[in-house]
Structure formats: structure tokens, C-alpha cells
Amino acid sequence: MKSGIYALALLLTGASPVVETPAADNAPVPVEVFAQLPAMEGPKLSPDGTRLAAKMAIRGKQYLVVTPLADNGAAKAMRIGDKMDVNWWRWVGDKWLAVGIGTQDVIYGEEVYITRLLGVPADLSSTKQIDWPRSGIRADEVLWTAKDGSPRILFAKQTGIESMDQVYPSVFEADLSTGRAKLVADGQRNVWNWYADGQGQVRIGYRYNDESRKAMLLYRDRNGEPFRTIARADRKRDEGMVVPLTFRPDGSALAFDDSDGHDALYEVSLPDLKLGKKVYAAQGYDLDGLIDNAAETDADGVNVTDTFGHTVWFNPTLKQIQDGVDKAVGERRARIVSWNGDRSKLLVEVGRPSQAGALYYWDTSYGNMQRYAWNNDTLKGRVLSPVSTVHYTARDGTPIEAVLTLPRLRAHKNLPLIVLPHGGPFARDAEGWDWWTQYLAELGYAVIQPNYRGSSGYGTDFAKKGEGEWGLKMQDDLDDAIPFLARQGIADPKRVCMIGASYGGYAAMRAAQRNGDLYRCAVSYAGVSDLAAMQRYDGQFLFGKTRGDWLKKQAPDYRAVSPRFGAAGFSIPILLVHGREDKRVPVKQSRMMADALKAAGKPYDYIEQPLADHHFTRGEDRLEFLKAMAAFLAKHNPA
């Protein structure tokens, strides 16, 4: 099979095909290679399995791409707009795609992010705006798609911004081919989320009052019936609530619940929400998500991250396929990422934590998979620095799991070390290809990514251990990785830097302020420096008061753990980098930190990227950051 994506890239860029000679395994990899965006994002098979839809970044621009899975098929590409983000895409039958887009706009003097829904034919010949004139800020949440091949969907959207009645989302049925929509369920006060079953019946509404922190679950059996309240919870008391996700034909449902300390999948009776049989649990870990069957009437499997992300299949056919693929790829890992309607045609990502890997197409009617595209056209199948999971104990006895990457071109003894905490902080790292970590290893550093207390995925108790510990015990967990690796003989404890983004950037600032005796330098990308200012920023958005409650739990004394107010205590150099288009952590956070360090006479470098966002979605910004980081490390902690 020809690589349709590669051919399309050549067509759009005007480049000529280049036959590359594979580099020797020990040849250094240039920084530009690590900064490359993935060849494609979110590949999805059409229900009949004949087409693939994905997003491509070409010369810094986002394209929606549809390509036939045949040697003689012509790929198509569409630019949605210069200032529009293509956020997601979903097949609706074989001939149409529902596409969610977003853009920044100014409403009443405030900059807000607006989402909209498009209907796009599979040949990408046009677009249909789905009820845009009657849409508010959020208008792109698809709840259900028709199973009969017609381009019909149910979606929830705000209908305007002029009154609260318009702000609470209503549910509409829309025809993607015409753009027309009709009302299915009126918006209700404080109902922000709707859930539909596999037949397109709107079954549940989740009501939440940000002022009182009270939650309610509204339920009905089918469209046309009134909703009734079946559950209540007080978030101020940390009360939980079971929310059905998949509705079965026998009247039961499937839902996640953490009553045993970890998120597990249960059968749930309706409408009383009593937990029944535990369908699946992962020992020591939370489940990540549910995969419905084609009819959306039961589960085909669950997504799990233990030491790495994978799928546990309940569907016997898919389980057999997964087992066969796992045997075929040997030491590599294979994950089925998309499938057609009858699960006979699959897209499978194959790689390993030290390898960018490739996307394969498999028609199970035939005996073998065919490689469709490399995830990195330069690296192809090259194996770089090894990645493993390690465990150590923090100073107070808390067990910490971490991901360790060791440089491939050096002996693994007495290495310079990078402590790289993840963002969130309610998130986690696991074994998997990571362009940033692999670049640091290519430079010669050992890199450890601790899943400090408060990280997600390890159950309720571990998450609660992070409450009140921002910049305190959470910081200790990071610092304690250093003596652990020193005892192993892997790291030189006198040559350590901390680097991170978002919360990880905050942690890097905090390390420079609090524990400069342990580190030579720090690098913060999009870090938070002032928690009170961050709460005021978050307060503008939906559930702002609830977000404030959460942040106050994590850090009861904002000022004491905000690096901005401890600038005089910084004892090591720090590099601050922030994107001006960052809407998650505003650029002001790094500007304030830089100003405070300047006033205190402390060493720092500050780079502001004019077009960068919070998520490194532009290759140009990745490259600038990697080069600046490498230069900074070479100066302050050379490998």
C-alpha cells in the first residue's frame, strides 16, 4: 500500500520525493527531527473501512484530510480557516463527517474560545454550518450518530449569550447534509451535560450549581417523557455520583465508580443507580475510558494505563485480533486505534517507547497488516533511547512510580539528570514515545518523570495525598528521585536540572526558589507563578468557583507557595518560555515571574513565543523551545 499521507504532504508542499538512506543506529539525531509534528493526528476509519480521516499539520497550517485506502485513491485535503482550530472529527455514515472547530473571539470586550459544528462530505468538497445563527459559545458536543447510514446526529449546544436560558445547552437533531436542526430537549437551569443512548434517546442530564456546589442527575426512559431526579450530591462534602455511560437493552447501564478506591467498570441498575457486577478493574490503577460496541448498547472494551496505555477487549473477536497482533509485533507494542463498523478493518499503531512507530492498516480478511504511514517520516523505525518504569519511596514512605529514559549513546553510570514533572497536576506519565524526553536523552541526559502524589491513575487515596501539598510534599516527591538514581549509580546528584510545562513549569520555578541546593538550573514552559492570579483567571470560566475550591484544597496558602513572591529566594538560573496564545495558563504568569526576578536581581532568561499555545501544536514553537533549552542546559549543566 502506498502511503497516502506522505503523497499528500508532497502534493501540498510542492516538494519532490526524496529517497533517504537510513542513518546508522549510532548517528546523532538533529533537533529538527524531534520538533516535527506527527505525520497525522487522530486517524479514523469510515464505517465501511474504505476511507481514513485525520488531521495534518503542513507548513504550520492545519488540514483536514480524507484519503481512500486503495493504491489508486486520490487523497483530499481541506483548510477550515486561517484562525480556526480543527478540534475533532467523527464519521457519520460513510459519506459525511461531523467536525468540531474552535476559534478565539471577543464578546463584550472579553476574549473567549468559541466552538462550532460543521458537516463535511467525505470528498471535502464543501462545508455545512450546523445551526450557527442560533449558537452560543459552546456548540459542538455530539451525543449520538445515526447507525442507518444517514447523516443525522444529536448534539448539545448553547443557543445564545443574551440570557441564562440560552446559556444552558439544549439538545438538537441535525442533518449534516443540510445544516438544519430541530429541538429534541430544551435546556434546563444548571444542566450542563446531556447523555444519549444508542437509539438516540436523550436519557440523562447532569445538573450542577456552581454557587451551591450541589449536583443532581435527571433521568428519563425515552424522548418525550419528562425528566425526574434520581440522584443528588454535595460537592462541598466530596460526595460522588454514579453517571451511566452506556445504556443496555435490558434496562441496565454501565458506569465507572471508585467505591473500592480505584475507578472500575460496573453494571448499574436504572433508575436507582445501584451498583451490580464489577465488569472490570485494573489492579492498582484507575481505568481510563470505555469503548462502546458498534450499536452503543454494551462495552467492547476499556482503556487502561498501567506502565503503558493499552486496551483490554471484552469483544472476543477484537481480543483474538489484539492477541494475534501482539504476538506478531514481538517487543513492540500494538494498539488498535480505529475500526470500521463490523470491526473487520482496523488501524493499528505499532511502536515502542523508544520508537516513534507507524500506523498500519489491516483488513482482517487478509493475513497481514500493511504499513500506511510512519509517525515520523525521518526517524521511521529507528529505535532511540530506552524507556522503563521504576519505583522509589518518598521520604515519608509514599510509593512513587516514575518513567526513566536513559541516553542510548552513553554508559548508564553517573549521568547528568533531568527531573521532568508532568503538568496537570491531575495527570500522569507512562511509557510511550515522547519527543521532548527523547531529545533530552539524545543530548546525553538521564530523564526521570515522577508521578508524584496527586497524580491521576493511582486511585482516590493517592490523589488525596496531593491536597494541600502543591510545592511542598509534591515537590519532595520530585526531589527524592535524585538520591534514588544516585544510589543506583545512574545519576550524578551534583548535575541535576528540573524542567517542566504547566504544573511542571510551576514545579521547576518552585525548585529554583525552594531547593536550589539540589539543582543547577531550571526550565519552565507555560508555568504558573502566582496561584491567586491563576484562580482569578479561572474564575471567568464555567464552574469557576468549583475550580477555585479545588485549587484552594491543593494550596491553602497561595502566597506561601507562589514562586513569584519568593523571587528573592531563587538561587539558580531559570529559563522561562511562554506562548502568547496560551489560553490555559495566560502568558502573564511568566511575565510576572520574569519581572519579579529582574527586580530581585536574579539570573533568568525569558522567551515569549508570539504564536505558541499551551500544547506545542506548532512545530516552529517546538523547535525554538528545544534549541533554547539545549543552549541553556549546555551553559548551566552540560552533558
pLDDT digits (tens, 9 = 90+) for 342-386: 999 999 999 999 999 999 999 988 878 899 999 999 999 999 999
How far, CA to CA in Å, does 154 sit from each of 75, 140, 201, 291, 636? 29, 10, 9, 19, 55
Judge whether 420 and 499 are in contact, CB under 8 Å. yes
pLDDT exceeds 80 at position 20: no
Convert the pLDDT of each residue in 140-154 to its tens digit.
999 999 999 999 999
Mean pLDDT value of segment 476-504 = 97
The DSSP element (H or E) to which 85 belongs, if any, is strand 85-92
Minimum mean pLDDT range among 95-109, 389-403, 464-478, 521-535: 95-109
Q: Is the peptide bond before 271 cis (omega within 30 degrees of 0)?
A: yes
Q: Which grid cell sits at 94?
A: 460513510
pLDDT at 296 over 90: yes
- CA pair distance 454, 45, nearest whole angstrom: 36
Instruction: Spell out the residues 6+ positions from residue 237 whose beta carbon is closer than 8 angstroms to its own.
Output: none
Cis peptide preceding 425, ω within 30 of 0: yes
- Indicate the average pLDDT of the chain: 90
- DSSP H/E element including 106: strand 96-107
Say if residue 11's pLDDT is above 50.
no
SS3 (DSSP) at 34: helix
Buried residues in 581-618 as b, exposed as e (16+ CB within 10 A): bbeebbbebbbbbbebbeeeebebbbbebeebbbebbb
Instruction: Evaluate if residue 260 carries a pLDDT over 60.
Output: yes
Asked if 45 and 347 count as a contact pair (C-beta separation under 8 A), the reply is yes
pLDDT tier at 494 (50, 70, 90 boundaries)?
A: very high
Reported pTM: 0.92
Q: Which helix (H) or strand (E) covers residue 485, if one does? A: helix 481-487
Q: What are the backbone angles phi and psi of residue 596, rounded to the nearest 5°?
A: -65, -40
User: Mean of the pLDDT values across residues 583-609?
Assistant: 95
pLDDT in tens, 415-448: 999 999 999 899 999 999 999 999 999 999 999 9
User: What was the pLDDT predicted at 540?
Assistant: 65
> Mind listing the pLDDT tens digit for each residue in 65-108?
999 987 667 889 988 766 778 899 999 999 999 999 988 887 77
Instruction: For residues 446 and 442, give the distance between their C-alpha atoms in angstroms, rounded to a whole number.
Output: 9
Check residue 543 and give its pLDDT: 62
The answer to whether 526 touches 502, Cβ cutoff 8 Å, is: yes
Cell of 146: 445515526
Full strand arrangement of the beta sheet holding 299-305: 287-292, 299-305, 309-313
The type of residue at 572 is: I
Q: N- to C-terminal Cα distance for the chain? A: 43
pLDDT band of residue 227 (cuts 50, 70, 90) is: very high
- Of the spans 185-189, 222-226, 450-454, which averages the highest pLDDT? 450-454
Model confidence at 22, pLDDT cuts 50, 70, 90, reads very low
pLDDT tier at 109 (50, 70, 90 boundaries)?
confident
CA 467, 468, 471, 473 torsion: positive or negative? negative
Q: Does position 605 have pLDDT exceeding 90, yes or no?
A: yes
CATH topology of domain 387-636: Rossmann fold (3.40.50)
Report d(CA 205, CA 194) in Å as an integer: 5
Grid cell for residue 147: 447507525
User: Which pLDDT band, with edges at 50, 70 and 90, does 165 fall under?
Assistant: confident
pLDDT for res 72: 63
- Confirm if 438 and 354 have CB atoms less than 8 A apart: yes
Closest CA to 154 of 196, 119, 126, 208: 196
- Which DSSP string do the residues of 502-553 spell out, in sequence order? THHHHHHHHHHHH-TTT-SEEEEES----HHHHHHHHTTSTTHHHHHHHHHH
The CA angle 345-153-40, to the nearest 5 degrees, is 45
pLDDT band at 6 (very low <50, low <70, confident <90, very high): very low
Tell me the CATH number of domain 91-374, given options 2.40.128, 2.130.10, 2.60.40, 3.40.50: 2.130.10
Backbone φ, ψ for residue 622 (5° rounding): -60, -45
**CA-based Rg of the chain, rounded to a whole angstrom?**
25
CA 459/CA 454 separation, integer angstroms: 10
Check: CB of residue 12 under 8 Å from CB of residue 77. Answer: yes
What pLDDT is attached to residue 508? 98
Q: What is the DSSP string of 383-447?
A: --S-EEEEEEE-TTS-EEEEEEE--TTS-SSSEEEEE---SSSS----BS--HHHHHHHHHT-EE
Whether residue 249 contacts residue 297, with contact meaning beta carbons closer than 8 Å, is answered with yes
Quick one: three-class SS letters along 565-612? HHHHHCCCCEEEEEECCCCCCCCHHHHHHHHHHHHHCCCEEEEEECCC
Taking residues 573-589, report their average pLDDT: 93
Residue 428 C-alpha cell reads as: 500522569
User: For 534-579, how does the pLDDT look when each residue is reduced to its tens digit (9 = 90+)?
Assistant: 888 776 666 667 777 777 778 888 889 999 999 999 999 999 999 9
Length of the chain: 639
d(CA 545, CA 525): 26
Q: What pLDDT shows up at residue 541? A: 62
Residue 313 phi, psi dihedral angles, 5° rounding: -95, 130
Note the pLDDT of residue 3: 46
Report the alpha-carbon distance of residue 405 to residue 385 in Å, rounded.
Answer: 7
The answer to whether 611 and 27 are in contact (CB under 8 A) is no
Q: Write down the domain spans for the chain.
A: 91-374, 387-636
Report pLDDT for 535: 84
At 21 the pLDDT is 36
Backbone angles phi and psi of 236, in degrees to 5 = -65, -25
Most confidently predicted of 162-171, 202-211, 532-541: 202-211
